[in-house]
Structure 1
Amino acid sequence: MHRTKIFLLLALTVCCATFLRAATVTNSIVWDNATGHVDADVHGEKLWPLLEDIAHQTGWHIFVEPGITQTTDAKFSRLPSSEALRKLLGDLNFALVPKTNEPSQLYVFTTRMENATQPVKPVKPVVKRQRHVANELIVKLKPGADIDALAKSLGAKVVGRDDKLGIYRLEFPDAAATDAALAKLQNNSDVAAVDYNYIFDPPPAPRAIANAPASSTPPLTLETPKQNDPCSPVVGLIDTQVQSLGSQLDPIMLPAISVVGDLATNNSPVPTHGTAMANSIWQAIAQASNGKSPVRILSVVVYDSSETTTSWNVALGIQAAVNGGATVLNMSLGGTTDSPILDDIVNQALAKGIVIFAAAGNQPVSAPTYPAAIPGVNDVTALGQPGQLASYANFSPQVDLALPGTAIFSYGGQSFVVQGTSPATAYATGVAAGTKGLNCPTWAQIQTAMQLKFPVPTK
């Protein structure tokens, strides 16, 4: 009897250990539509869920020959799509058929392509939970409250402060202490708002267009802006570092501001996301203003050298842009969590008459993205084709505008392309600023006209 109990205990232990190992194996495929590269780490993945995942991430229409099966074990990174498909599909035949005015089609078969008739429906996308810095909180205090005394009582350090805004960044010994302090601060009468310091993922990187000559630069004559003239708008580009745009366009850029410390000059042959957005903005300015405009762009760097940022940096970036004279803000960034701290900073800017355009996000879900979904912000999603949302584009009820989600620009003698709701947002910002600089309608008139010109298609 005793031996039987020991045997059962050992068997359950082995069974549980096997289950736990299986539970920790997470099949992962990341299909970067912006660069055309794929990362994968899959083990024992059946064909159907594999293709559902690919359909979701790419927007392709996928058809399979009925009755075929496949189990995939593959691990690789940064492979082009064609090589990735070969690794993932093994001995199966496939044909990827590009389409001009509709999603590409992928056929998977063992005999002939014509026999691949069973459609694969993409899995319902899951909204990713936004990460936060594990041991940090952002606190907004009511007037007269003492942040240093409060931090001391919580065993925290004040590692960031803006006394004028009354916001502070607190650092705790560990995640448990952070969570405990959050609960206390939510019930503290001296605290106006408190939340985690959320992390914003790196923005999509531009990719070179192979064997393509440098794209032409739309002509833009820079008029001399008048000091404090509402008809000479300044675009606050809250993003990564902006590199040199060349002798013709550098004059459009005002001296940059960084809220993440001094950054070395970026002379990389690959453009940053901020550089891509600056190009997208001035292209739209040139088109909206008939090639002549007093608009200037103020680069506000909120991403560090690792190209990640936080809600703290974004809040400081908004304030820096407003203090630097920006009258319209471009935020081609976002996350899935609404932060009361960021809401407050955005609302202060809106109250001053600052117009804000922000990206709706590159997940095809109806859940909102912030700060785009904050009331009063122009929430911009992306079109894949005229009148059709891009396969990756967010379609939440908060979305206000839909503009083209692909921008092609020249940098260092090479053509690059960037895709997503980021360039769609930059286009919107450029159209608004260019229109303002052309004949100076009110911002309300501009935004109303843009909602009529760039409506959001029904999903």
Structure 2
Amino acid sequence: MDAEIEGWPLQKVLEHVAAQTRWQIMVEPGTSRFVTAKFKNLKPGEALRKLLSDLSFVMLPSTNGPTRLYVFKTSVQTATNLVAAPPPPAAVPQLIPDELLVRLKSDSTNSVDEFASRYGGKVIGRMDDLHVYRLKFQDENSAKAAREAMAKDNSIGTIESNYATPRPGQPNSLTGLDAIPALTLRPAQTGNQIVVALLDTAVQPDGSALGSFLLPQVSVSGPSQPPSDMPSHGSSMAETILYSLARVSSETAESPVRILPVDIYGPNESTTTFDIANGIVTAVSKGASIINLSLGGTGDSPLIHSLIRSARDQGVLFIAAAGNEPTLAPTYPAAYPEVIAVTALSPTGEIAPYANRGDFVDVAAPGVSLVHYAGQLYMVTGTSTATANVSALAAALMSNATKDPAIVEALIRQNLAVTALAPKP
């Protein structure tokens, strides 16, 4: 192990150790100090002694789970606070160099396949009702040449690049902790439903508490087979929404909320601008009141923005992650003014050190969640988790207080506002 740190709080040190090693770290409540250390190529035990100084620690390797590290002043039994490892930085969306997204004008009489062929491309994705098409070309130079030629075509409304966004990471497994209580919230059998669309990886209907809260899953990117031995990111977000919803509901409550899983990744290692746009269109067509976007990137997509504006005019709330980079740079789609941008809070109630804190951020919520899958406990962290928590609150407000989305949005912005930041422009 290597380290070069000066004056770091113990909590930050332990979070970084957890992130680098994937250990499950427990610390005695109230244990705090500042750490300064510099070393290279030390064995774990020697490195921990340098980092922890006079604090005691016990490290328990495991063959069927993460290594557990207990840090304490008095006894190992007092190390009861779980250290939440920060999520890995979000992968930067990558340009798909040989593709373009084209939106034809509504009065265009072109056959789209003939249109694509005229410019040397092939249609590989389509949203016919919106006249939006995903075109693939022979190579990057062919796509550039086609874009230049299309710019002079009066039948075309917009042209933009297509970007690939890698799928989110998996949650961390935990051992030796008490199980979270069973979900007591029950789905209401009568009345109108409040539909929360979850644009994410595929959700596993079995092995968790999701059960009858799930609507039939829709995939816009082809069939996928989620892992059988751990929850997918989508399942983790869905369970976070349900447990957060239960916390703001009465113990005997029946909820009209349903989760609509919209798989925008399919079997692929990434989603794309086109798939996200298609997912939004699908969610709106399926009656979503709230669309949860626990994803984001640096690319500003006119297509996605126009779809969000249109759906927002219909009363759909959009809630999106601000990103897991401690920068001020905007993350899209969270940075669009029609979207509630969510950053993450640490367990101490401050903005998490890994979380984006740019002036586009609207609200903050807890960035840590514990979820169950197939009898195993997992931890998920990040602005994705915070976004799911805000979506749950929005659904609860729609269920119990008001169904007016404008009032719900105003309540969320007021009650969860990040007051230290400037408002979104």
TM bracket (short chain):
0.7 to 0.9
Structure 1 counterpart of 2:115, from 134, 150, 159:
150
Distance 1:436 1:396, change over 3 A: same
Alignment of 1:50-449 (within 5 A): 63-64=36-37, 94-96=50-52, 130-145=93-108, 146=110, 147-226=112-191, 229=192, 232-246=193-207, 249-264=210-225, 266=226, 268-291=228-251, 292=253, 293-449=255-411
Cα 1:127–1:258 change in 2 (3 A) is closer
Change (3 A) 1:223 1:361: same
Secondary structure (helix, strand or coil) at the match of 1:215 reads coil
- Contact kept in structure 2, 1:233 and 1:326, CA below 8 Å: yes
Partner SS, residue 286 of structure 1:
helix
> Do the aligned partners of residues 311 and 83 (structure 1) sit closer, same or farther apart at CA in structure 2, a change above 3 Å counting?
farther
- Where 2:100 maps in the other structure, the secondary structure is strand
What is the match of residue 27 of structure 1? none
- 1:185, CA displacement in angstroms? 2.8
Of stretches 433-442 and 377-386 in structure 1, the one that deviates more from structure 2 is 433-442
**In structure 1, C-alpha distance between the alignment counterparts of 2:218 and 2:137, rounded to whole Å:** 29
* Secondary structure at the counterpart of residue 36 of structure 1: helix
- The answer to whether the 8 A contact 1:128-1:336 is kept is no
Q: Deviation at 1:381?
A: 0.6
Structure 1 gaps of 5+ residues are 1-30, 40-59, 73-81, 99-125
* TM-superposed deviation, 1:429: 0.3
CA offset at residue 364 of structure 1?
0.7
* Whole-angstrom CA distance in 2 between matches of 1:248 and 1:349: 30
* Distance in 1 separating the partners of 2:242 and 2:302: 32
Mapped to 1, the partners of 2:97 and 2:154 lie a distance apart of 25
Change (3 A) 1:185 1:397: farther
Write the letter of the residue equivalent to 1:149: E
Shift of 1:256: 0.6
Cα displacement (A) at 1:327: 1.1
Cα 1:294–1:387 change in 2 (3 A) is same
- Give the drift of 1:443: 1.8
Q: CA deviation at 1:244?
A: 2.3
TM-score (norm 2): 0.77
After superposition, the CA RMSD in angstroms is 3.0
Q: Cα distance 1:84–1:241, how it changes in 2: closer, same or farther (>3 A)?
A: farther
How far, CA to CA, are the matches of 2:179 and 2:151 in structure 1?
Answer: 54
**CA drift at 1:225:** 4.2
How far residue 411 of structure 1 moved from its aligned partner, in angstroms, is: 1.3
* Shift of residue 383, structure 1, vs aligned partner: 0.6
The 1:454–1:153 alpha-carbon spacing in structure 2 relative to 1, beyond 3 Å, is same
Q: Deviations over 1:217-247 (max 9, x none)?
A: 3420221242xx3xx3101111001112558
Pair 444,96 (structure 1): closer, same or farther in 2 beyond 3 Å: farther
Alpha-carbon distance between aligned partners in 1 of 2:207 and 2:90, rounded to the nearest angstrom = 39
Contact 2:289 2:316 in 1 (8 A): yes
Structure-2 change in CA distance of 1:324 and 1:215 (3 Å) = same
* Greater C-alpha Rg: 1
Question: CA offset at residue 439 of structure 1?
Answer: 3.1
In structure 2, what residue type is equivalent to 1:190?
S
Unpaired segments ≥5 residues, structure 2 = 1-13, 23-32, 56-88
In 1, Cα distance between the equivalents of 2:16 and 2:147? 38
Aligned in 2, Cα 1:185/1:127: closer, same or farther, shift over 3 Å?
farther
Per the TM alignment, residue 457 of structure 1 is displaced from its structure 2 partner at its CA by 5.1
Cα pair distance change 1:161/1:435, threshold 3 Å: same
- Structure 2 CA distance for aligned equivalents of residues 446 and 191 of structure 1: 38
Residue 36, structure 1, aligned to residue 9, structure 2? no
What is the CA distance between 1:323 and its match in structure 2? 1.0
After TM superposition, the structure 1 stretch with the greater mean CA deviation from structure 2, 439-448 or 380-389, is 439-448
C-alpha change, 1:442 and 1:390, in structure 2 (3 Å) is: same
Change (3 A) 1:361 1:225: farther
- Can you list the C-alpha shifts for 1:8-36, whole angstroms capped at 9, x where unaligned? xxxxxxxxxxxxxxxxxxxxxxx997973
Q: What percentage of residue pairs aligned between the two structures are identical?
A: 35
Cα pair distance change 1:399/1:247, threshold 3 Å: closer
Task: Flag the 1:154–1:263 CA change in 2: closer, same or farther, 3 A.
Answer: same
Tell me: CA distance 1:237–1:157, structure 2 relative to 1, closer, same or farther (3 Å).
same
Distance (Å, rounded) in 2 between the aligned partners of 1:384 and 1:271: 23
